[in-house]
Amino acid sequence: MALPELRLPRRAGRRTNLGLLLLLLIAGATGVAAYAVGTEPATRVVVAAHGAAGLGLLLLVPWKAVVVRRGRQRPASTRRDPGAAIALGVVVALAVLTGGLHAVGVTGPWSALGGVDALQLHVGAGVVSAALLAVHVVGARQRPRRADLGRRELLRTGALGVGAVALWGGVEGLLRLTGAPGGRRRSTGSHERGTDDPSAMPVTQWISDSVPADPGGSLEVVAGGRRVRLTAADLDRGDEMRALLDCTGGWYAEQDWRGAELDRLLSDVLSGELPDGGSVDVVSATGYRRRLPLSDARHLLLATHVGGRPLSAGHGAPVRLVAPGRRGFWWVKWVVRVEVVDAPWWVQSPFPLQ
C-alpha cells in the first residue's frame, strides 16, 4: 500500500520558509560568536545553539520538499529561477554534513581535498550560504506580516526550537554513550590535540598569516614614554602558567608555558604600578596584532618555552603571547613589540584581518 502524500496548506509553505530562515540566521550568528567566545558557560550556550539550529534544519526537510514539489506544479511562466535556491540548498547541506562530521570526530584533513579538513569546509560553506541566502531572500520578495508574530506562530516557533534542542541533545548523548571521539570534545566544539606534548600540537595560523623566515631575536616594550629592548633570554624569567590553547581550527591542547608575566614586565618598565585604564598592543613580526585590556595583563604571559622546551618556529618562537580564556587568534606568535596605549581594546576588528 502506498503511503499517503504529505500535503500542506498554502500558509504552511510560508511558515516552513520562515522557520528555515530563522534557523539559518541563528546558525550563522552563533557560528560567528563561537569563534569569539572562549570561556564557560558562554561557549557551551553558543555552541549548543549553533548545533541545535543546524540539526533543526533537518526537521523541516520533509515540509520543504513538499513546498518545492508544489512549486514545480505551477505554470512555467509563474516560476522563479530556481538556481539560487538550489545552490543554497546544496551549500547548506554541505555545511550541515561537514559540521556533523567535525562534531563526531571525523575531522580530516583529507589529502584528496588538498589538506582541507571538515571544519574548514564547514566554515567555507557557511560563508557561501550566507551570501546565497541574501540573494534568495531578496529574490523571494516576501515581506513580514503582523500574523508572523501572532500567538499561534510563536507557539509553532517554540515547538520547532524545542524539537531542535531535543535532537541536538539526543545526538550529544549518543556520542557520549558510545564513547565516540565527538563525545570528548570541549564545550567550544574543539577536539584535543597534543596536550602535554607540544610536538603533537598542530601548527596553524590565522587566515593569511605564515611562519616568518626571520622572526627576530628581540622584543621592544613601550610604556609610559620608555622603550626597553629585551631578548628571549631576558624574558625567560621562570614565570610558569598552565593554560589551554583553544584554536579556532577546531582543536585544543593544555600545556605548561614558561616566560615572563606581562604585568610584572610592564611594571618593571614603568618602575611602578600599571595605570588603571588603557590597553596593551601585542604585535607580531608578521604585522599581525591584537589589543587587549591592560587590566588583563596579570593573566597574560610572554612565553619562551612550552613543556619545558623552547618554543618551535611554528608555535611562535622566540616569544608568543599566552592568553588564557581567549581563543587561539589572541595568542599572538613571534611577538616583537608590546606597547601600552590609551585607546580602548575594543577599538579594533573583532577578528584579525590578516
CA distance 168 to 112: 30
Q: How many CB atoms lie within 10 A of CB 266?
A: 26
Compute the Cα dihedral for 339, 341, 343, 345 and give only its sign: positive
The Cα-based distances of 74 to 80, 190, 194, 284 in angstroms read 10, 46, 57, 59
Q: How confident is the model at residue 265 (pLDDT cuts 50, 70, 90)?
A: very high
pLDDT at res. 138: 77
Pick from 225, 223, 226, 335: nearest CA to 286: 335
Q: How confident is the model at residue 126 (pLDDT cuts 50, 70, 90)?
A: very high
Q: How confident is the model at residue 3 (pLDDT cuts 50, 70, 90)?
A: very low
pLDDT at 137 over 90: no
Given this structure, which CATH class describes domain 198-341? Answer: alpha beta
Does residue 68 come out as left (phi exceeding 0), alpha (psi in the -120 to 50 range) or beta? alpha
pLDDT at 299 over 70: yes
Mean pLDDT of 268-280: 81
Beta strands in the chain (DSSP E): 191-192, 218-223, 226-231, 239-247, 251-261, 279-284, 289-293, 301-306, 309-310, 320-322, 335-341
pLDDT at 326 over 90: yes
Mean pLDDT of 229-243: 94
Task: Give the tens place of pLDDT for each residue, 99-125.
Answer: 999 999 998 888 877 888 999 999 999
pLDDT at 350 over 60: yes
Q: How confident is the model at residue 237 (pLDDT cuts 50, 70, 90)?
A: very high
Q: How many CA atoms lie within 13 A of 141 on its CB side?
A: 2
Q: How confident is the model at residue 206 (pLDDT cuts 50, 70, 90)?
A: confident
Which has the minimum average pLDDT: 145-149, 203-207, 231-235, 245-249? 145-149
Work out the mean pLDDT of the chain and round it to a whole number. Answer: 87
Question: Which helix (H) or strand (E) element contains residue 165?
Answer: helix 151-178
Backbone angles phi, psi at 245, to 5 degrees: -95, 115
CA distance 36 to 59: 28
Pick from 291, 314, 292, 311: nearest CA to 303: 311
CA distance 11 to 26: 23
Domain coordinates in residue numbering, the chain? 10-73+80-189, 198-341
Mean pLDDT of 204-214: 87
Which has the minimum average pLDDT: 93-97, 151-155, 175-179, 279-283? 151-155
pLDDT at res. 146: 67
282 bridge partner residues = 290, 338
**DSSP 8-state class, residue 242:** E
pLDDT at res. 262: 95
pLDDT at res. 66: 77
CA distance 137 to 196: 48
Which has the minimum average pLDDT: 68-72, 133-137, 219-223, 246-250? 68-72
State the DSSP string of 174-213.
HHHHHT-GGGG--TTSPEE--TT-GGGS----STT----S
**Amino acid identity, residue 47?**
V
* Pairwise pLDDT comparison (65 vs 347), residue with the higher score: 347
Compute the Cα dihedral for 8, 12, 17, 19 and give only its sign: negative
Which has the minimum average pLDDT: 4-18, 25-39, 192-206, 239-253? 4-18
